[in-house]
Amino acid sequence: MKERKIVRRLVPVDFLDLDGMELWLEDMAANGLYFQKLGAFFAQFRPGDPAKVRWHAEPTEKGGTSIPAQTGEYAELGWTYVGKIGYLALFRTADPDVPEFHTDPVAQSYTLDRLTRRLTRFVWRLLAMMAALVAFMVWARLDSAFGLVLSLVRSGSLYTNLVVLADVALILYFSWEVWGLCRLRRRLRAGIPHQRPGCWRRTGLVRQGYTLLLSIAALVQLGSTAAYLTGVTKWDLDLSDLDRPAPVLSLAELEGDGYITEPFGHPGYEGLDLDNYISYDGRPLARIYEGRQAGTVDGERRYLEMAWYDLTLPFLAGPLLEDLMDYELYDFRYVPERYAVEELSAPGFDRLVVAEDLDYGGQQLFARLGSRVVYLDYTGSRDLTGHLDRVAALLRWDG
């Protein structure tokens, strides 16, 4: 007779959930699947005839595949050792008359002593590491010149942030499971018999969801990195060589007659014109175009810098504009007399703020429309508020 193939299943209960493990394995046996061992990612089952089988998960001090020393004693009682999942040794019996493993709650509590002490020490170490990590992230956030939304949009590293948040959540969840074992031990020590619930909980879904979420995020990050390296999501070009659509407010048109482009010059330098270029960076949370233009009018320098954002999540546009203002006008809170800041109302804008530098000249403009945000830094004799139609066209640009 041909031997039936091994069937693999994800473990839908936590490895510290004694009741859930027993009830799940009993349900599997009722469906004709009998646990054999735990593989690299899945539990392995041997198909057979459906039967009513009793299972018992006994806590052990050590994980891995080490066989519990009391296996022979349990066999004499009618329980067959099958294998281990984590720190749980699994036993089964098809005899409904075989006595339970433990009839004395106090004696049963001793089986949890070593495991709970070991896991509790491990939990405290994890919590200490988590506290240090969170403290470092808070310090880094407070020490950063960028606001939270601006950092998130420009960094593009969603995977790193997701990993940290998921790790913190998993550590807290694991701590709760360990403390649940400690509570069980205290109840048993007090002589209160443990009552197994009527159905098993899918506690392992938290662990599986954590793994799936990070795997998907890692694949997305790898794809983003590959696109970045191949130039699909990032490029930069001299404005004179621009051969693709891009949002540009022409400094030459803004200045009018007499304007002469002034290319970047440095002895021995060959490469991108750092005074007249446009760059594109496709991030998970935004498309970002940045550009710089420089030239002269009658020997006087003219300058225009632009940052253009199209956000994936439109609700981030407002906070991003605030972060840009905080970053670009970083000393406004200390020397407000240096700036003349005016919030304007004009067609084509959800919000429009213009700041004039009273000490050094020049204007900074912050504008938002829907999911689009534009920042302009201008040095010259013109007034950007007289060219709001061109700024509004920047916000409407869609490639």
Q: What is the span of the domain harbouring residue 212?
A: 113-229
Please say which residue of 101, 121, 150 terminates a domain: 101
Last residue of a domain, one of 72, 101, 130: 101
User: What CATH number corresponds to the domain at position 352?
Assistant: 3.40.1000
DSSP string, 37-48: EE-SSSEEEEE-
Does residue 30 have a pLDDT over 80?
A: yes
Residue 387 in domain? yes
- Highest mean pLDDT among 199-208, 211-220, 301-310 belongs to 301-310
Regarding whether 358 and 246 lie in a shared domain, the answer is yes
Is 144 inside a domain boundary? yes
How far is 57 from 81, CA to CA, in rounded Å? Answer: 10
Contacts of 263 (CB under 8 A, 6+ apart): 273, 275, 276
pLDDT tens digits, one per residue of 117-150: 999 999 999 999 988 888 887 776 666 666 788 8
Strand partners, 356: 340, 363
Please indicate, yes or no, whether residues 120 and 256 belong to a single structural domain of this protein: no
With beta carbons less than 8 A apart as the criterion, state whether 350 and 362 touch: no
Query: Which helix (H) or strand (E) segment is 357 a member of?
Result: strand 351-357
In a domain, 1, yes or no: no
* Average confidence score pLDDT of the chain: 86
Our count of domains for the chain comes to 3
Q: In terms of domains, do 255 and 385 share one? A: yes
- Same domain? 247 vs 377: yes
Instruction: Measure the CA–CA gap between 110 and 285, rounded to whole angstroms.
Output: 53
The stretch 85-93 carries a mean pLDDT of 87
Percent of the chain with pLDDT over 70: 91
- 13 within a domain of the structure (yes/no): yes
- For residue range 64-75, list pLDDT tens digits in order: 555 666 677 778
Same domain, 204 and 73: no
Question: According to the model, what pLDDT value does residue 66 have?
Answer: 57
Q: Considering the domain boundaries, does residue 108 fall inside one?
A: no
> Which SS3 state, helix, strand or coil, does residue 117 take?
helix
Residues 239, 318 within the same domain? yes
Give pLDDT, residue 249: 94
Question: Is 107 part of any domain?
Answer: no
**Domain match, 196 and 263 both:** no
Q: How many Å apart are CA 137 and CA 151, to the nearest integer?
A: 13
Cβ-contact 101, 88 below 8 angstroms? no
Q: Please report the pLDDT score of residue 1 as a whole number.
A: 43
Give the per-residue pLDDT at 293.
Answer: 96
Based on the domain organization, do 22 and 117 belong to the same domain? no
Are 217 and 122 in a shared domain?
yes
The reported pTM is: 0.65
User: Could you tell me if 92 and 143 lie in one domain?
Assistant: no
How far is the C-alpha of 187 from the C-alpha of 63, rounded, in Å? 25
Q: Which residues contact 212 (CB under 8 A, 6 or more apart)?
A: none
- 265-321 confidence digits (pLDDT tens): 788 788 898 899 999 998 888 999 999 999 999 889 999 999 999 999 999 999 999
Report yes or no: 170 and 209 within 8 Å, Cβ to Cβ.
no
Residue where one domain finishes, among candidates 74, 101, 128: 101
Q: For residues 165 and 351, which has the higher predicted lDDT (pLDDT)?
A: 351
Q: Is residue 106 part of a domain?
A: no
pLDDT digits (tens, 9 = 90+) for 340-349: 999 999 999 9
> Do 386 and 310 share a structural domain?
yes
Q: Is 342 within a domain?
A: yes
**Whether 382 and 283 share a structural domain:** yes
